[in-house]
Amino acid sequence: MTSERYGLHAVMFLLASLLLSSCNLFQSGTGTRTFTDQLGRTVKIPEKIHRICALHHFGGKIVYALKKQSLLVDTSIYGKEALALKAIDPAFAAKPSLLQGNSYNVESMINLAPQVAFVYASSNRSEMEVFKNAGIPAIAVKGETFEESFEAIRLISSVLECEGDGEHYIKQCRDLIRMVQTRLETTSGPPVKVLFSGPKSIYSAATGSMLQTQILELSGAVNVANELDGFWADISPEQLALWNPDVIFLGSTLDAYGRDSIFKNPHFQTIKAIQDKKVYTFPSNVGWWDYPAPHCVLGVVWSAKILYPELFGDVDMKEIADQFYEEFTGHTFSALGGRLVQ
């Protein structure tokens, strides 16, 4: 969520907090518990939690994986995956969505009276204070590395008092990573050089600060834009040619800018990835596998299979996705209409 989104609604939050202060809608019982979130903030929440929201699909995915979705007052999962879930899951379809366009409906959130909100940590501290002023404890979580994601799982599972489910989720993610790492031990020579292009165009590169870099490293590759900082750095055609990646991954945009047009672009004809026709769209048509959430472990398996097909020929990506989604979303990838984009 951006500062602009909160800026538009901050006044609404503050006014609503005045209306709600006398009836204390967001508390349950007299006891409280205290947690330190992933921004280092101390957050006090009611002792017993019955109503929650997650204002970013990262938190929503974790809540579903912990099988605590019945506590959600809203869908907390968005985009293509939300549409897929709505089509086959009546309980999900019955929940309201707080996301309207690019903004969250603040009035609806207040009316739904969550006792705690899980918010992605890209929100700054002043924005988090808005929740506090409105009487909604907000716990910041983040996942630009797998270790951060696992920390978020432990934090959310502790809040929801299901620590065992959290550790099981982490173990399943680690097992898939370990499977990949074990197979990659037989490789020799330098890692494959990969450009991970983002949501805008091939000239939008994932930097060394982003989760995509770790996905590449765990799948036996190196991010050519590793030295850049920030998020989705704009690069020039000259820089792309200088990097000369062996492979290009197109982020989860359903190939919005088109592989065919990339292959035909005269500026790219000297690039090895173009010459070898090694340009691949990150595959899932429902639920991103290259976006902060522990589910992106599936992106590690897929990437390794693409980069080292001789080592992963017996790995059925669809079967792995079906098993993972069924356990941690409640429906198989196939049942959601999932397919691997070619």
> What per-residue confidence (pLDDT) applies to 268?
87
> What per-residue confidence (pLDDT) applies to 107?
79
Mean pLDDT of the chain: 86
The pLDDT of 49-72, averaged and rounded, is 93
C-alpha dihedral, 298 to 303 to 306 to 307, nearest 10°: -150
Lowest mean pLDDT among 10-19, 111-120, 193-202, 243-252: 10-19
Q: Per-residue pLDDT for 333 more than 80?
A: yes
> What per-residue confidence (pLDDT) applies to 145?
92
Q: Per-residue pLDDT for 59 more than 50?
A: yes
> What per-residue confidence (pLDDT) applies to 126?
60
Lowest mean pLDDT among 122-136, 231-245, 278-292, 302-316: 122-136
> What per-residue confidence (pLDDT) applies to 279?
92
The pLDDT of 212-231, averaged and rounded, is 95
Indicate the pLDDT class of residue 182, thresholds 50, 70 and 90.
very high
Indicate the pLDDT class of residue 56, thresholds 50, 70 and 90.
confident
Q: Per-residue pLDDT for 306 more than 80?
A: yes
**Amino acid, res. 61:** K
CA 221 – CA 243 distance, rounded (Å): 14
Contact 224, 193 (CB under 8 A): yes
The pLDDT of 50-60, averaged and rounded, is 90
Q: How many CA atoms lie within 13 A of 46 on its CB side?
A: 19
Q: Per-residue pLDDT for 34 more than 50?
A: yes
Indicate the pLDDT class of residue 69, thresholds 50, 70 and 90.
very high
* Domains of the chain with bracketed CATH: 3-172 (3.40.50.1980), 189-329 (3.40.50.1980)
Q: Per-residue pLDDT for 24 more than 70?
A: no
Higher per-residue confidence, 256 vs 55: 55
Q: Per-residue pLDDT for 164 more than 50?
A: yes
> What per-residue confidence (pLDDT) applies to 2?
40
Q: Per-residue pLDDT for 18 more than 80?
A: no
Q: Above pLDDT 70, what percent of the chain?
A: 86
CA 73 – CA 302 distance, rounded (Å): 33
Q: Per-residue pLDDT for 4 more than 60?
A: no
Q: Per-residue pLDDT for 342 more than 70?
A: no
Q: What is the 3-state secondary structure (H, E, C) of the chain?
A: CCHHHHHHHHHHHHHHHHHHCCCCCCCCCCCEEEEECCCCCEEEEECCCCCEEECCHHHHHHHHHCCCHHHECCCCCCHHHHHHHHHHCHHHHCCCCCEECCEECHHHHHHHCCCEEEEECCCCHHHHHHHHHCCCCEEEECCCCHHHHHHHHHHHHHHCCCHHHHHHHHHHHHHHHHHHHHHHCCCCCCCEEEEEECCCCCCEECCCCCHHHHHHHHCCEEECCCCCCCCCEECCHHHHHHHCCCEEEECCCCCCCCHHHHHHCHHHCCCHHHHCCCEEECCECCCCCCCCCHHHHHHHHHHHHHHCCCCCCCCCHHHHHHHHHHHHHCCCCCCCCCCECC
The model's pTM? 0.87
> What per-residue confidence (pLDDT) applies to 1?
40
Higher per-residue confidence, 322 vs 2: 322
> What per-residue confidence (pLDDT) applies to 125?
62
